Every structure is written in structure tokens, then in C-alpha cells.
Amino acid sequence: MLRISCPFCGVRDHSEFSYGGDASVEYPALDASESEWVEAVFQRENLDGVQFETWQHIQGCRMWIVVERDTRTHAIHSVRPAHDGIAQALNAEQDGVGTS
Amino acid sequence: MKPYSAWKVFVNGLTGQKGWDRAWRDPEPKAEYDVVIVGAGLHGLATAYYLAKNHDIKNIAVVEKGWLGGGNGGRNTTIVRSNYMLPGNREFYEHSLKLWENLSHDLNYNVMFSQRAHVTLLHSPAARDGAARRYNTMRLTGSDGELWDLETLKRNIPHLNYSADARFPIIGAMAQPRAGTARHDAVAWGYARGADQQGIDILQNCEVTGVERNGSTVTGLQTSRGVIRAKKVGFAVAGNTSRLWRMAELGKLPIESHKLQAFVSEPLKPLLDHVVVFGVGGAHFYISQSDKGGMVFGGDIDWYKSYAQRGNLPIVQDVAECATSILPCLGRVRLLRHWSGVMDMSMDGSPFICKTPLDNLYLNAGWNYGGFKASPASGWYFADLIANNRPDPVIADHTLDRFARGINIDERGAGPDPKLHG
């Protein structure tokens, strides 16, 4: 069992989460060319090593998170909210707690 | 090398088993081959065997980073079937099943192919309608299929959980009588011996570390046993295809590597002489009994990408729950061992046997759950592709560009998410 430290809920078993996929994939604009969409939807690096990947805490807070994980050893190096704005808000809040 | 026969078994039984030869050689790599196949799993060995047998190309090496058959060839639940529905899969898997039916004779090696029927349990009228459609399609395209009502199923497999208050009561089954199981190691050994007899070099402990290119041509492979030049190269390394693809500097693939586990129980007396599949309401489970008596079973993949050849515990619980829900008599049976293989999960659940952006490089990959049963036909058509430099019509759509062309072969209708194509 992997143990994932959800930024909102704390450390939980991975069976509470649903694996998304490669977090480095960025969807193009809606009017982008067909080949750009084929690239984003179907083509993957499929790294053997440390990769950023999305998970959803489907049986917890239901938030999407980005996990930095080694696909050979399953070691998890970092976890953060997938949404940049939420990640920044969370960081600001934690920094605030740390300095007050 | 002398052929195996019942007479030789008898004679060697009387003479202390001293009359057997090595089944295959352990040669040193030559500097150059006409064809180098990367990966001495079932697909790579079968490809080499059919290149020699069907196309008379014999200056071949099969290079393998570990030992032959030590990857997914030895990490599966040994099920053979051809109950696919979509064009592209139908003809391909049926051809494979036909090759299985004569494989022991062809290889002069007993692969213990047992056509004990593949029985998928049905739990709702909608599932029965879906099964009827699938099996009608199969029968119209030259395969065999049967729909079993509850009485027929009970007669064939009396000890399933037929309780009316089961969470998913069984209402019948769809069966493919010609499907069954085979001894997975024997398939690897049989193909290896058959290939070796035709002069093919099987180079074990020979890991590919780099791909040498001259423009759009592969000139050779850097390996842990030196550089091997090749006129043509075939990749058959499902699970690690993306790694080799990067070595060839070819970029991305429509593949993710996932783990699939398999399980075997302690040996029991004869209990189950069919392959039984249970899939409803999120359950996914398949079970058969090996000739040694162990219950061999498996379920879903581990649900997240991984290159680690070890499985995770939630799936152990999943398959145990499935096992006891359809075969409650297994409740006190102990698990003997479980293992995990790394598989190419493709974006539509179907494989690739195709040409590549490089002129003399060919790809065999993306086998998802289906690699074991496919291995004879995979080798057959991959050999044909390499020998003739054009795909047979049966594998014409098993290409990398099928996603861009919008002709996905998505048997489950799960969409472009590799983990869902179980």
C-alpha cells in the first residue's frame, strides 16, 4: 500500500485515491490543431523514474493533487494540490501559521 | 538436436535420465545478424521461430536482459481464448487460437494446452444480451461460442455460488469451449528450443543499453555483451517499450506501464476444470486450476503506473473477495504466492504490430492483459511484417497512428485511459 500525504486530509492509504495520469500533460487550446490534441490525449513519456502524476482523493476531500513519485521504487518525494491557485493559497496559509 | 518422443521418455526412464541434450545453446554474440529481436519473451521467441520457419530467415539473434521467459511470459494466468468482437482483434486472436491448437506438435514440445472452455458468468439480462451479440459475432467470423442457461452452467460447474441472495446472482454464462489454458513456461521453452534448432542465437543476460542510428536507419544495438549490428531490428519488450523507444530517440508512445498481479493457491485435488470469469459491479476476476492443483487467479491491475515488478495489497484483498464470492469453497484455501508483471497498457487496450518512423525498426508492443494468448499469432504476424516489410491485412490497423486516424480498437469502450483497459 502506498501512503499518500494529502495536503488537505493528511496521510492516507492510496486505495482512497484514484490515479489520474501524467501531470506534465497540458491540454492545448480548444481551437488547437488536431495533431496537438492527439499528442495531448494519446501520447505519453511513460517515464521509468521520478515523474509528476495526478491523483484524486476520491474517498476523502475529492481534491486533485500532484504527486512526485518514482515509478520504479514507488517512493513519493512530494505532494501538492493540482490547482496552482489552491497550492499558493495553501502555502501562504502554512507560511502564515509558521511565522505567527 | 533430437526430437522428443514417448519412446525417449521411456528409454531415459530406464537409463537414469542421462540421454537428454541441452534444449538450447548458450552462444556468444556474433558481430552482425540479419535480424535482431529485442526481448526473449513469448512474443520475441515466437517471432524468431516463425521468421525461420515461415520465411527462411535464420541469421537471427534474440537478445534478453534477464533469462528467457522471465518477464511477463512467466507472470500471467495462462488463459488462452479468442472471444473478442471488434474487427482487427477477431481475426487476430482466432488465428492465435488455431496456432495454439497445434502448437505442441509444431514445436515438438508439450505446452500442455488444455481446451477446457472459458466461461464468463452472467448476472443480468443486459449482460446476457451483450454476450449474445458478442458470441453471434464470433460464430459469424469462424469461431466458437455458446450461451449457457443456468441449468447447463450448474451441470458443468456445480460448486459455484448459485445462492439467490448473492449480491450478484448468477443467471447463466457465455462459454468458448475451444478456449482454455496452457503451461506458460513450456511455451517459452518450446519456442526457444524450436528457434535454437533452426540456428537462431538466443542471447540471455544481454541488456540493450543503446540504439545506434544513422539517420532513419538503425545500424546496431549497444548491449551489455558488446555492440551487435543488425540489418533489421524488432522490439518485443512489452512493459519496457517506452524505455527502448527513448533509447532510439523516437519520443512518446500511446502506452503507460502498469502492473498486473497473478496469484496461485496451495495445490488442491481436482476442483475446477474450466476457466471461470466473474466481472460485474466493479469485480474483475478470472480463475482456473493448474495441472499441479493450484488455483491460478487474477483480477484488476494495480491502478497506477509502475515499473516495479511487485504487486500491491489492495488487489490481494480484491481477488480474495471475488474468489470467495463465486467459489465460497475456497474460503480456507491458503495463498501460496503472488507475483506481478509490468505491462504496456495502451490507449485503447489493443496492441501494436507495426512499422516505425525508422526504416528497419519494427515494433511489437501494447499487449495490455492479452499478451499470453496472443503470443503465437503475435510472433506469426510480426515475423511476416519483418520479413516482407509490409503488414498482413489482419494487423493493418495495429499501428501507432490509429489514434490520429480515429480508428481506435477499443474492445471495452473505456476511452483513452490506459488503466481502464483491463
The DSSP annotation for B226-266 comes to EEEEEEEEEE--TTSHHHHHHHTT---BSEEEEEEEEEEEE
Q: CB contact, 8 Å: B407 with chain A?
A: no
- Is beta strand B361-365 parallel, antiparallel or unpaired with respect to B226-235? parallel
Find which of B302, B307, B321 to mutate to test the A interface (most A CBs within 10 Å of its CB). B307
Contact A55, A65 (CB under 8 A): yes
Contact A46 B252 (CB under 8 A): yes
Is the CB of residue A23 less than 8 Å from the CB of residue A47?
A: no
Q: Does B314 touch chain A (CB under 8 A)?
A: yes
Cβ separation A18–B252 shorter than 8 A: no
Residue of A46, A47, A53, A72 to mutate, interface with B, max B Cβ within 10 Å: A46
Say if the Cβ atoms of A41 and B416 lie within 8 Å.
yes
**Interchain CB distance below 8 Å, B256 and A73:** no
**Cβ-based contacts of A76 with chain B (< 8 Å):** none
- Segment 246-265 of chain B within 8 Å of chain A by CB: 251-257
CA nearest to B362, candidates B222, B244, B214, B191: B244
Contact check, Cβ <8 Å, A46/B242: yes
List CB contacts of B155: < 8 A, sequence separation 6 or more. none
Does residue B207 sit at the A interface (CB-CB below 8 Å)?
Answer: no
Residues A42, B305: C-beta atoms closer than 8 Å: no
Instruction: Per residue of chain B (422 residues), give pLDDT as tens.
Output: 689 999 999 999 999 999 999 999 999 999 999 999 999 999 999 999 999 999 999 999 999 999 999 999 999 999 999 999 999 999 999 999 999 999 999 999 999 999 999 999 999 999 999 999 999 999 999 999 999 999 999 999 999 999 999 999 999 999 999 999 999 999 999 999 999 999 999 999 999 999 999 999 999 999 999 999 999 999 999 899 999 999 999 999 999 999 999 999 999 999 999 999 999 887 899 999 999 999 999 999 999 999 998 899 999 999 999 999 999 999 999 999 999 999 999 999 999 999 999 999 999 999 998 899 999 999 999 999 999 999 999 999 999 999 999 999 999 889 999 999 87
Query: What distance separates the 2 farthest-apart alpha carbons in chain B?
Result: 67
**Which stretches of B21-171 are DSSP H helices?**
42-55, 90-101, 103-107, 125-140, 150-156
Chain B contact set for A44 (CB, 8 A)? 242, 252-256, 418
Among A43, A44, A71, the residue with its CB nearest the CB of B307 is A71
Residues of B in contact with A4 (CB under 8 A): none
User: B74-125 pLDDT, tens per residue?
Assistant: 999 999 999 999 999 999 999 999 999 999 999 999 999 999 999 999 999 9
CB contact under 8 Å between B308 and A43, yes or no, is no
- Shortest distance between the Cα of B383 and any Cα of chain A, in A, equals 26
Residues of B in contact with A75 (CB under 8 A): none
To the nearest whole Å, the CA of B59 is away from the closest chain A CA by 33
Cβ count near B76 (within 10 Å): 23
Dig out the grid coordinates for B165 from the structure: 441472495
Q: Is B401 exposed, middle or buried (0-12, 13-18, 19+ CB in 10 A)?
A: exposed
Please name the residue of chain A whose CA is at the shortest distance from the CA of residue B305.
Answer: A71
pTM here is 0.95
- Write the pLDDT tens digit of every residue in B256-282: 999 999 999 999 999 999 999 999 887
Q: How many contacts does A have with B, using Cβ atoms within 8 A?
A: 75
ipTM for the complex shown: 0.91
Instruction: Name the nearest CA neighbour of B246 among A13, A47, A92, A75.
Output: A47
